[in-house]
Amino acid sequence: MSSTTHTSTIGAIGAPSRRNTELALLAFAVVIPLFAYMNVGLALTGEVPTGMLGYGMGLGLLAGVGHIVVRKFAAYADPLLLPLATVLNGLGLVVIWRLDQSEKLQARAEAQFGAFSPSAPNQLMYSAIGIALFVGVLIFLKDHRVLQRYTYISMVGAIVLLLLPLVPGLGENIFGAKIWIRVGGFTIQPGEFAKIVIAIFFAGYLMVKRDALALASRRFMGLYLPRGRDLGPIIVVWATSILILVFETDLGTSLLFFGMFVVMLYVATERTSWIVFGLLMSAVGAVGVASFEPHVQQRVDAWLNPFSDATLQQTDQIAQSLMAFGSGGVLGTGLGQGNSDLIGFAANSDFILATFGEEMGLAGVMAILLIYGLIVERGVRTALAARDPFGKLLAIGLSGAFAIQVFVVSGGVMGLIPLTGMTMPFLAYGGSSVIANWALIGILIRISDTARRPAPSPAPNPDAEMTQVVRP
């Protein structure tokens, strides 16, 4: 048997095994949030929640639809990505529902808005839309390399998405950041979708320019410095990220945008100097903007002095978040038995990790971060397995964007860095975030399927066969 035929046979045998593994993990990913939902109900009322059956069927249906589509259209894809995203989405729904039951938040909403509207049903609807987009990506994007044709269209699209919050009458200024737009009765965060479009542009651009960007002019302190004329792209991206920070006062998107480009640039060129340049430029830009932008200054001051009188007069969210982590200890107070609702309305969005920290403790937070780490690891593994340079760069860009967002949000909530306006992927309340991240997982699964799919066997060569027969 030839090596090509042997590889094809292994791939044919491996596909059903991967599907069965994914199905078993997916069932486990549905059971864990269902068990958490039951625990929350027992802690709050002493009874099993009446909506437990409906929640289990809804989450199971969404996961089942995703599995069927992956099984049919991406049979060779990584079997872990879908279950990992499902368990995060499910746990996020549980904690959002748990915060909906808070009498403090209900009373505050009625006093401020005149009525209380639960967030969990909306989040379940957003999750369904996200799964629908996930399904659409796998059905209609049959080959990720098609996206390479739209490299510069993606650049224009990303710029439009990032500028939409600045359009008068369309943009919304919420808590000092201009990162939302209002369409009808819904607010949309275009930056969540822009990170995917930007990754497509960066992958296409760097694939063409990587040889020029990898050239070095001289060595300085152990680093190969890039040529001066090759600094243009990184300066343009750096300037764009600074403009986002200045005009939209959005520290999170600025860090995500520039950080993703530097990671992809390093992978494309294998030059450590780009990482050093990226960190230096990021630090210079952040310090420069913080010196004159009041909103950024407030966030930096709140980060440095979360318990000061000046900070508490403006907001006590960061202080309450840190106290929630502290009161959780190692094992937590138990699901449904914390006081993270003292954080306010942002408890189910920007600060949802604080609820996990208080009610599940350090062990629970580490488990959540481990799941995030596994998603990033599977994305990097997909990049390593990809057979084309565009797929490698796109997979590493999407994985890098996901990792940076998790670090930026968790670091802000835990007091490691200034707080940003971004949300934890899949966990936090927000339609834009959950929908965009399901699309991100769909693209990674498509790249993974292409990378793992066995190469087709070569067509037989009649001339070679005749030569073997005639040769004595």
pLDDT digit string (tens) for 423-445? 899 999 988 899 999 999 999 99
**Cα–Cα nearest to 436, from 164, 78, 94, 89:** 89
User: For residue 458, is it within any domain?
Assistant: no
**pLDDT one-digit tens code per residue, 86-117:** 999 999 999 999 999 888 888 888 888 788 88
Position with higher pLDDT, 116 vs 63:
63
Q: What's the pLDDT band for 146 if we cut at 50, 70, 90?
A: very high
Lowest mean pLDDT among 115-119, 239-243, 374-378, 450-454: 239-243
Please say whether the beta carbons of 262 and 275 come within 8 A.
yes
User: For residue 77, is it within any domain?
Assistant: yes
pLDDT at 457 over 80: no
pLDDT at 254 over 80: no
Position with higher pLDDT, 12 vs 193:
193
Whether the model clears a pTM of 0.95, i.e. scores above it, the answer is no
User: For residue 30, is it within any domain?
Assistant: yes
**pLDDT one-digit tens code per residue, 205-224:** 888 877 776 665 566 555 56
User: For residue 460, is it within any domain?
Assistant: no
User: For residue 157, is it within any domain?
Assistant: yes
Position with higher pLDDT, 469 vs 161:
161
pLDDT at 468 over 60: no
Q: What's the pLDDT band for 2 if we cut at 50, 70, 90?
A: very low
Work out the average pLDDT over 19-31: 86
pLDDT at 171 over 50: yes
Range of the domain at 172: 18-452
Work out the average pLDDT over 18-46: 88
* DSSP collapsed to 3 states, the chain: CCHHHHHHHHHHHHHHHHHHHHHHHHHHHHHHHHHHHHHHHHHHHCCCCCCHHHHHHHHHHHHHHHHHHHHHHCCCCCCCHHHHHHHHHHHHHHHHHHHHCCHHHHHHHHHHHCCCCCCHHHHHHHHHHHHHHHHHHHHHCCCHHHHHHHHHHHHHHHHHHHHHHHCCCCEEEECCEEEEEEECCEEECHHHHHHHHHHHHHHHHHHHHHHHHHCEEEEECCEEEECHHHHHHHHHHHHHHHHHHHHHCCHHHHHHHHHHHHHHHHHHHCCHHHHHHHHHHHHHHHHHHHCCCHHHHHHHHHHHCCCCHHHHHHCCHHHHHHHHHHHHCCCCCCCCCCCHHHHCHHHHCCCHHHHHHHHHHHHHHHHHHHHHHHHHHHHHHHHHHCCCHHHHHHHHHHHHHHHHHHHHHHHHHHCCCCCCCCCCCCCCCCHHHHHHHHHHHHHHHHHHHHHHCCCCCCCCCHHHHHHHHHCC
pLDDT at 418 over 70: yes
Position with higher pLDDT, 455 vs 206:
206
pLDDT at 3 over 70: no
Give the pairing of strands 223-226 and 177-183: unpaired
pLDDT at 371 over 70: yes
Lowest mean pLDDT among 187-191, 221-225, 348-352, 420-424: 221-225
Look at residue 90 in the predicted model and tell me its pLDDT.
95
Give the whole-angstrom CA distance, residue 61 versus residue 110.
34
Look at residue 249 in the predicted model and tell me its pLDDT.
67
Lowest mean pLDDT among 141-150, 161-170, 199-208, 456-465: 456-465
Work out the average pLDDT over 114-138: 92
Give the whole-angstrom CA distance, residue 456 versus residue 255.
42
Lowest mean pLDDT among 65-69, 236-240, 349-353: 236-240
> Residues in the chain, how many?
472
Strand partners, 174: 177
Q: How many independent structural domains does the chain possess?
A: 1
| Average of per-residue pLDDT values in the chain | 83
User: For residue 40, is it within any domain?
Assistant: yes
Q: What's the pLDDT band for 10 if we cut at 50, 70, 90?
A: very low
Look at residue 34 in the predicted model and tell me its pLDDT.
94
Lowest mean pLDDT among 37-41, 152-156, 323-327: 152-156
pLDDT at 289 over 90: no
444 half-sphere exposure, CB direction, 13 A CA radius: 32
Work out the average pLDDT over 49-70: 91
User: For residue 37, is it within any domain?
Assistant: yes
Look at residue 1 in the predicted model and tell me its pLDDT.
38
User: For residue 154, is it within any domain?
Assistant: yes
pLDDT at 25 over 70: yes
Work out the average pLDDT over 149-158: 87
Percent of the chain with pLDDT over 90: 38
pLDDT at 9 over 50: no
